[in-house]
């Protein structure tokens, strides 16, 4: 795999085939045993087979957990400052290989190179941040009558499992590993079956940085392999990123052995644009909130509420700029949108647009399959970014998470009305408000039922800022695992 990463400078869209083993435990890459259920993994920009994903069975998951457990006994005994040193070295290696890892991420995931580079930066920053916390973890000293005292100790949980979504493969893997490792835990994580390629590089880098052999492990697979992790008696915690329906199953399965669970789930976030906003900035915010990573972002603000008085100007500008988004080869720096993750995902998103039209929405632009002019992209999973007008709160496109480049625009008249409508959802991940009125901005932020509220900006997630949620979007039982 190191060789594959090193070969990236000369790689181009449509040129890479991954043949390396994609599992990792005991400090080395491992070939999967059972070839019967092999699944092809596609390059979204070309529709070409990039590699084969062979899911891990019970025996292999058990080996990975055993590897983690053995290493945990050493890692958990190390001082925080020693763990920190190793983690900082891992962050340094990622920084050094950032461009190559980003390229591979683009080839597997379909997002643009500009975004992937940002993701890899977010990954090493997260590791660096938690490396900084590792030496600071301490217990309490409690004085009792008569000179007696008690104390608390912060103790790691043991083996923590991570189950990952496909939209930020390397970054989410780093987000799972960094807090767990800082606190002395070991990790086994399972990437999405659609993006198995870069997670294993992270495990290799931790090994190279000097963690005890077998501390960070990767098992490939889909629902069955994920379920094996949730049921494994020696897994102490499951941290899951994915959809609400799967999150519910993960919680249910983990309850059988009373595991700790963290769920980072979906969203249908509202964006409130008031008539006193700086329009240019609000339009930019709406584009950021809908079209990054081809619209496949959990925090996306896909319900765009616009105060009626400025609706015509807003729509004119947002449509003009949406039409100007360059869709095409994600490895070219001028490209702003690549292919969706898979053909079924593309069909699903186009199906949402068709349903929206049936329910009375008007397509102002996009929402069609797109074939870029470059012939090598003719079988890629591209579509034109879409703006829907004439939307109502009861439409499917306004209620359900589409997870594609589709913005639904809705008019509103008053602050009270829009808050009620914005909160009328089972999700509660993120939200945004655009206004020049500072009092209104903070009042609205306080009344929106969402983990994050962006004011006059959108789609930034610095590692220093907590990431939580309301209702079915997030259940964060332990932000930092100990």
Instruction: Give the footprint of ligand NAD on this chain (CB under 6 A).
Output: 163-167, 190, 192-193, 222-223, 226-227, 230, 241-243, 246, 249-250, 264-267, 298, 401, 403, 429, 474
DSSP state of 369: B
Q: Sort strands 186-190 and 260-264 into parallel, antiparallel or unpaired.
A: unpaired
Range list of β-strands (E), 112-252: 141-143, 149-151, 159-163, 186-190, 216-218, 235-241
Non-local CB neighbours of 386 within 8 Å, separated by 6+ positions:
322, 353, 363, 365, 366, 367, 405, 406, 407
Residue-level length of the chain: 482
- Least separation in angstroms between residue 4's CB and ligand NAD is 22
Residue nearest to ligand NAD (CB): 226
Task: Return d(Cα 245, Cα 381) in angstroms, integer.
Answer: 25
CA-based nearest residue to 286, from 266, 276, 272, 267: 272
Determine the angle formed by the axes of helices 80-109 and 199-209, rounding to 10 degrees: 150
Told to judge if 280 belongs to the known catalytic residues of this protein, a careful annotator would answer no
224 vs 413 by CB, closer to ligand NAD: 224
- Least separation in angstroms between residue 260's CB and ligand NAD is 16
- Least separation in angstroms between residue 303's CB and ligand NAD is 14
401 vs 415 by CB, closer to ligand NAD: 401
Radius of gyration of the chain (CA): 23
Helices H, strands E: what count in the chain? 14, 19
Helix (H, G, I), strand (E, B) or coil at 149: strand
- Least separation in angstroms between residue 480's CB and ligand NAD is 16
Q: How many CA atoms lie within 13 A of 120 on its CB side?
A: 26
5 vs 171 by CB, closer to ligand NAD: 171
CA-based nearest residue to 381, from 407, 350, 424, 421: 350
214 vs 469 by CB, closer to ligand NAD: 469
Q: Which of 60, 105, 128, 264 is catalytic?
A: 264
- Least separation in angstroms between residue 40's CB and ligand NAD is 15
218 vs 474 by CB, closer to ligand NAD: 474
66 vs 227 by CB, closer to ligand NAD: 227
CA 336, chain centre distance (Å): 19
- Least separation in angstroms between residue 25's CB and ligand NAD is 18
- Write out the catalytic residue numbers: 264
């Amino acid at each position: 795999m190191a060789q594959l990463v090193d070969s990236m400078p000369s790689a181009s869209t449509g040129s890479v085939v991954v043949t390396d083993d994609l599992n990792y435990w005991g400090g080395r890459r491992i070939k999967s045993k059972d070839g019967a259920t092999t699944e092809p993994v596609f390059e979204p920009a070309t529709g070409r087979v990039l590699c084969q994903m062979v899911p891990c069975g019970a025996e292999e998951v058990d080996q990975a957990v055993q590897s983690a457990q053995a290493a945990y006994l050493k890692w958990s005994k190390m001082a925080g400052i020693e763990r920190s040193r190793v983690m900082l070295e891992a962050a340094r290696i990622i920084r050094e290989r950032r461009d190559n890892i980003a390229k591979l991420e683009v080839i597997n995931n379909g997002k643009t190179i500009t975004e992937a580079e940002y993701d890899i930066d977010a990954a090493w920053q997260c590791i660096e941040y938690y490396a900084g916390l590792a030496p600071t973890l301490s217990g309490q000293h409690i004085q009792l009558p008569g000179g007696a005292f008690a104390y608390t100790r912060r103790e790691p949980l043991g083996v923590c499992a991570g189950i990952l979504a496909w939209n930020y493969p390397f970054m989410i893997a780093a987000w799972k590993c960094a807090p767990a490792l800082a606190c002395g835990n070991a990790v086994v994580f399972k990437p999405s079956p659609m993006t198995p390629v870069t997670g294993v590089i992270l495990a290799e880098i931790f090994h190279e940085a000097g963690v005890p052999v077998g501390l960070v492990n990767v098992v490939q697979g889909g629902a069955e392999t994920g379920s094996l992790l949730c049921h494994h008696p020696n897994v102490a915690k499951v941290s899951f990123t994915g959809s609400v329906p799967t999150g519910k199953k993960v919680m249910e399965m983990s309850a059988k052995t009373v595991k700790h669970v963290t769920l980072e789930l979906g969203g249908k976030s509202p964006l409130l644009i008031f008539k006193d906003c700086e329009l240019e900035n609000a339009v930019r915010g709406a584009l950021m909130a809908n079209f990054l990573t081809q619209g496949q972002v959990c925090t996306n603000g896909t319900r765009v509420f616009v105060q009626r008085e400025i609706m015509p100007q807003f729509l004119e500008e947002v449509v003009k700029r949406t039409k100007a988004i360059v869709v095409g080869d994600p490895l070219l720096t001028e490209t702003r949108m690549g292919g969706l993750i898979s053909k079924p995902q593309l069909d699903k998103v186009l199906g949402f647009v068709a349903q929206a039209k049936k329910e009375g929405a008007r397509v102002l632009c996009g929402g069609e399959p797109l074939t870029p002019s470059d012939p090598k992209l003719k079988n890629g999973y591209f579509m034109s970014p879409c703006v829907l007008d004439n939307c109502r709160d009861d439409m499917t496109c306004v209620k359900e998470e589409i997870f594609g480049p589709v913005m639904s625009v809705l008019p509103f008249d008053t602050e009270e009305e829009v808050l009620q409508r914005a909160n009328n959802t089972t999700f509660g991940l993120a939200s945004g408000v655009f206004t020049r009125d500072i009092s209104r901005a903070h009042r609205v932020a306080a009344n929106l039922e969402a983990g994050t509220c962006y004011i006059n900006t959108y789609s930034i997630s610095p590692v220093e800022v907590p990431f939580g949620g309301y209702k079915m979007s997030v259940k964060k039982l332990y932000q930092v695992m100990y």
